[in-house]
Structure 1
Amino acid sequence: MDQLWDRGDSMGTFRFHGWTVVEVETDTGLVGIGNVALAPRIAKAIIDQYLTPLVLGHDPFDYEYLWQRMYRSTHAWGRKGVAMAAISAIDIALWDLMGKETNKPVFKLLGGRTKEKIPCYASKLYRTDLKEMQDEAQKYLDQGFTSMKMRFGYGPKDGTQGVRENLKSVEAIREVIGYDNDLMLECYMGWNLEYAKRILPKLEKYEPRWLEEPVIADDIDGYAELNQLTSIPISGGE
């Protein structure tokens, strides 16, 4: 299926990601760990050259001040994308430090427990052979999942046949999990507004819990238009 993604219709999978691990060490020897997966080599350069001098020598508990210091100092060329990912890596490490210093899990520092259980869903189901997808969906059911998210394999460049293939994949998963379980649909920003408007009415009968990132994150007007067009909840901005 690699050739399918090579046509450039979508982000494909996250196989192109690497990782940079960020360590922030205090004068008492505690080490907080953060990470960044988006363009990690570029993020490392940003951290080494721009962000590290802004953080060194400060109290990690001044996390809001440090975040604002990093964000405002990179404002001319940052504000989103890899610069924000680099800031987040340090911010995660600071929170890790604070958790270790207070001997508490970070969620306790962020407001504490609000519920006893948190629902989760299986998130994979990349477009492969339809029978393989159905077997994978059955595996998640057997593991106790009551909701799962699948990926589309086709986009605007694949024309009418691609639309049919996308619908086939949704139908194949519904055949396995029925309608008492939730099914979410992931587009990886691989569609455009025209294509999304064309296929959305055809997807409604499958009752998806939501449709994720049909257009690029910056197309705010497109998201607004799609929300007005369909009863399917549209998610985006990840």
Structure 2
Amino acid sequence: MKITEIECLVIDGEYPYVIIETDEGITGIGECFRRSPWVTKSAVDTIFRDAILSVDPSNYEEIWNLLYNIASTCGPYGSLLTAISGIDTAIWDINLKREGVPLHKKLGKKIKNSIPIYASSMKRDMSPEEEADRASFFYEEGFLFYKMHSAYPEEVDSPRDKTLKTVEAIRNKLDNNIEIMVDVNGGYSAKKAIEVGHVLEKFEVFQFEQPVHVTDLEGLKRVTESLSIPIASGECCYTVQDFKNLIEKGKPDILQPDVIKTGGITEFRKIISFLNKKEIMIHNTQPLISTAIHLHFLSINNSIKLPLEYNIEQNSLIDNPITKNSLNIQSGNILVPDDNSFGLDFDISIMKKRAKII
């Protein structure tokens, strides 16, 4: 089998997907991280495409290493590696379809039929009372964990920050019936993070995520060592080596890999293996392929106990589907798909109609 064509479609001008065609008529579909979609598309179309045309897609590892080495001349992190994620997941899709098996069967033995998820609120423009009402709504829907984003990462130690008032409002509304997660996306200095963290301890928050900038590993270590609540980080780590560095220098309590940031399944599998005895909470903000892949990984792993992130914001891929089926959410859990590959059946004709160009 050989790769005959590869293209990146930016669906609705926002979501980059990679489509790879083969000479056996099997088409693979992969997903890239949604930020900087046009940079991602340019990387797929102009940097990586020619390198893998006519290549046998069964050689996962060789293709991943080839793409990573090509990217190293002008990266390889950020949009280049998330572009590789789209290619790698599409290649896995081809091979899983060819074998006629779901991803979890390729990874190991499925031991979980459903995975708990937490409601991840991305809005930063709500009042503390509005956020508390939103948390209450999802609690009534069966969610036992709620993550809020109320700081301003573009403005470190911003006076507009509503984190503590929002946590207080949620506690007043729901008491301790729901676990609260606080993600400030690196919006604090280490000093401010420790000050806020001590108040969060009193509210018994479940975790405090990315309290300082991702490059400030010394500051992260200070925060972790100063607080009793779990500190989470890792969504901006791309490789096994990145996680080694994060653990050695930043020492967070919870690690957060994301398959569409790590260059796809090939590297993600190595990361999960490396983090084997660490506390893992998978980072997940996109509703289709990345969510499905994470479900498959979690279904075979009994050591990962923490819930999977689920972005609760409105999304055109859900409101106007590009798939013929959907993931099944029930009372704060998602059922693990058993259909071939990732368990999603994409309508490529719809995808192409909704692909934007610039």
1:138 corresponds in structure 2 to 136
Q: Deviations over 1:4-25 (max 9, x none)?
A: xxxxxxxxxxxxx922221011
1:97 corresponds in structure 2 to 94
> What amino acid does structure 1 have at the position aligned with 2:119?
A
Partners of 2:127 and 2:35 lie apart in 1 by 29
Q: 150, 157, 165: which one pairs with 1:152?
A: 150
Provide the TM-score with structure 1 as the length reference: 0.85
> What amino acid does structure 2 have at the position aligned with 1:34?
G
Partners of 1:167 and 1:125 lie apart in 2 by 17
1:168 corresponds in structure 2 to 165
Given that residues 186 and 214 in structure 1 are in contact (C-alpha distance below 8 angstroms), is that contact kept between their aligned partners in structure 2?
Answer: yes
Q: 191, 215, 219: which one pairs with 2:216?
A: 219
List gaps (5 residues or longer) in structure 1: 1-16
Given that residues 156 and 195 in structure 1 are in contact (C-alpha distance below 8 angstroms), is that contact kept between their aligned partners in structure 2?
Answer: no
Q: Secondary structure in 1 aligned to 2:20?
A: strand
2:127 corresponds in structure 1 to 129
Query: 1:108, CA displacement in angstroms?
Result: 2.1
Query: 1:170, CA displacement in angstroms?
Result: 0.4
2:347 corresponds in structure 1 to none
- Structure with more of its chain in helix, by fraction: 1
Q: Secondary structure in 1 aligned to 2:195?
A: helix
Q: Deviations over 1:71-95 (max 9, x none)?
A: 0122132231111111111011111
Q: 17, 20, 40: which one pairs with 2:16?
A: 20
> What amino acid does structure 2 have at the position aligned with 1:69?
L
Partners of 2:157 and 2:190 lie apart in 1 by 13
Partners of 1:152 and 1:176 lie apart in 2 by 17
Given that residues 208 and 232 in structure 2 are in contact (C-alpha distance below 8 angstroms), is that contact kept between their aligned partners in structure 1?
Answer: yes
Given that residues 157 and 189 in structure 2 are in contact (C-alpha distance below 8 angstroms), is that contact kept between their aligned partners in structure 1?
Answer: no
What does residue range 1-238 of structure 1 map to in structure 2 within 5 Å? 18-36=14-32, 37-124=34-121, 126-127=123-124, 128-154=126-152, 156-159=156-159, 162=160, 165-238=162-235
Given that residues 119 and 146 in structure 2 are in contact (C-alpha distance below 8 angstroms), is that contact kept between their aligned partners in structure 1?
Answer: yes
Given that residues 167 and 203 in structure 2 are in contact (C-alpha distance below 8 angstroms), is that contact kept between their aligned partners in structure 1?
Answer: yes
- Structure with more of its chain in strand, by fraction: 2
Partners of 1:234 and 1:199 lie apart in 2 by 13
Query: 1:40, CA displacement in angstroms?
Result: 1.2
2:338 corresponds in structure 1 to none
Given that residues 126 and 153 in structure 1 are in contact (C-alpha distance below 8 angstroms), is that contact kept between their aligned partners in structure 2?
Answer: no
Please list every run of at least 4 consecutive aligned residues from structure 1 whose deviation after the TM superposition is greater than 3 angstroms.
153-159
Query: 1:35, CA displacement in angstroms?
Result: 2.3
> What amino acid does structure 1 have at the position aligned with 2:50?
P
Q: Secondary structure in 2 aligned to 1:101?
A: helix
Partners of 1:40 and 1:156 lie apart in 2 by 26
Partners of 1:211 and 1:142 lie apart in 2 by 24
**Percent pairwise identity:** 33
Partners of 1:102 and 1:22 lie apart in 2 by 20
Provide the TM-score with structure 2 as the length reference: 0.58
Partners of 1:83 and 1:111 lie apart in 2 by 29
Query: 1:157, CA displacement in angstroms?
Result: 4.8
Query: 1:125, CA displacement in angstroms?
Result: 6.2
Q: Deviations over 1:23-51 (max 9, x none)?
A: 01111111111122121111111111211
> What amino acid does structure 2 have at the position aligned with 1:179?
N
Give the stretch that moved more between structures: 177-186 or 77-86.
177-186
Asked which structure has the greater CA Rg, the reply is 1
Partners of 1:221 and 1:112 lie apart in 2 by 39
